[in-house]
Amino acid sequence: MRFDLTDLRLFLAVVDAGSITHGAADVGLSLAAASERLRDMEALGEVALLERGRRGVSPTEAGAALAHHARLILGQLRQMHGELGEYARGLRSTISILANTAAISEHLPEKLAHWMAANPQVDLQLKERQSVEIARSVAAGHAEIGILSAAAEMAGLTARPFATDGLVVIVGSGHPLARESSVRFADLACEHFIALAGGALQDHIDAQASRIGVRLKIRVRLRDFEAICRLAGAGAGIGIVPDTAARRAKRSCGIVVIGLADDWATRRLVVCTAQGADLPVHARNLLDHLTSA
């Protein structure tokens, strides 16, 4: 049987995500193209590689064996590129990073700016994921560096402190909640929300709502925190955003910032790598930069 590198990357992405749709997106393939490749892989090997169910996919025994060998092959390939990059002038290298919404929107831009300017030969493949998915993917070797909540399961990972990320509620000055210093998420069930248009943070908030049996009343979904703050400040609804974003927009958007009392609203962010990972020199350098004071 002959599988190319795209086949192996796709199969690992699907296994790690537990979804053909998400796995296809991770490697830049359409769902139709990914499904056809997976069918061809199973036909070529004359063995079922994935068990397909209502809640996604999982590897069969043969699929788990393929995933194991694919990780070894792709890991060696990344290491080869990294080592060659240390010696070959002008050869570009790429570092794969998975991070949650707060890290990408509030912390990474400033952290990465000077480092990327000083390392013009290095590109970053940065993807937004929920913390649970980040932990699983980094431990499995699907990404070199992860930035996630310290509350996630850390088995198979080495973690270092990165930042503190707190979620807050934002409302307009005329809203009845504006007099409160803090609220619990369950007390917001009757409110109308200005929400994010997808992303790991909104998935996290939606999951907390489902956990307590609530479906959020969402008036509109927007793509950035400032836009959410502007609509909340005008009285269009309430929002939940990182504290750093709320404080930055407080004066210009006319919002009132209220503490969110639930434990899950205060998250300590960490930078993680797979235990025992032999990172290329540029990835090691970036890791040290991200965790420096």
What is the domain count for the chain? 2
Q: Which of 33, 53, 81 is the endpoint of a domain?
A: 81
Do 198 and 240 share a domain, yes or no? yes
Do 172 and 32 share a domain, yes or no? no
User: Residue 278: how many CB atoms within 10 A of its CB?
Assistant: 12
- Evaluate whether residue 56 is within a structural domain: yes
Which of the 8 DSSP states describes residue 188?
G
H or E segment and range at residue 128: strand 122-128
Do 147 and 288 share a domain, yes or no? yes
User: What gap in Å lies between CA 101 and CA 98, rounded to an integer?
Assistant: 10
Do 134 and 33 share a domain, yes or no? no
Q: Which of 57, 81, 105 is the endpoint of a domain?
A: 81
- Evaluate whether residue 31 is within a structural domain: yes
- Evaluate whether residue 278 is within a structural domain: yes
- Evaluate whether residue 86 is within a structural domain: no
- C-alpha dist (Å) from residue 119 to 68, 90, 281, 288: 33, 11, 12, 14
Do 49 and 126 share a domain, yes or no? no
Tell me the whole-structure pTM to 2 decimals: 0.66
Do 48 and 174 share a domain, yes or no? no
Do 252 and 272 share a domain, yes or no? yes
Do 194 and 290 share a domain, yes or no? yes
- Evaluate whether residue 265 is within a structural domain: yes
At 208, list the tokens. Answer: 């907390």
User: What gap in Å lies between CA 273 and CA 121, rounded to an integer?
Assistant: 22
The pLDDT assigned to 86 comes to 57
Do 132 and 239 share a domain, yes or no? yes
Q: Which of 23, 50, 81 is the endpoint of a domain?
A: 81
- Evaluate whether residue 87 is within a structural domain: no
CATH of the domain at 61: 1.10.10.10
Do 77 and 110 share a domain, yes or no? no
- Evaluate whether residue 165 is within a structural domain: yes
User: What gap in Å lies between CA 48 and CA 60, rounded to an integer?
Assistant: 7
CATH of the domain at 137: 3.40.190.290
Do 139 and 276 share a domain, yes or no? yes
State which residues form the domain around 267.
Answer: 92-293
- Evaluate whether residue 293 is within a structural domain: yes
User: What gap in Å lies between CA 217 and CA 190, rounded to an integer?
Assistant: 8
Do 115 and 51 share a domain, yes or no? no
> pLDDT means per 10 residues in the chain (293 residues)?
86 91 90 92 89 89 90 81 62 87 90 94 91 90 92 91 92 96 96 91 91 95 94 97 93 95 91 91 93 82
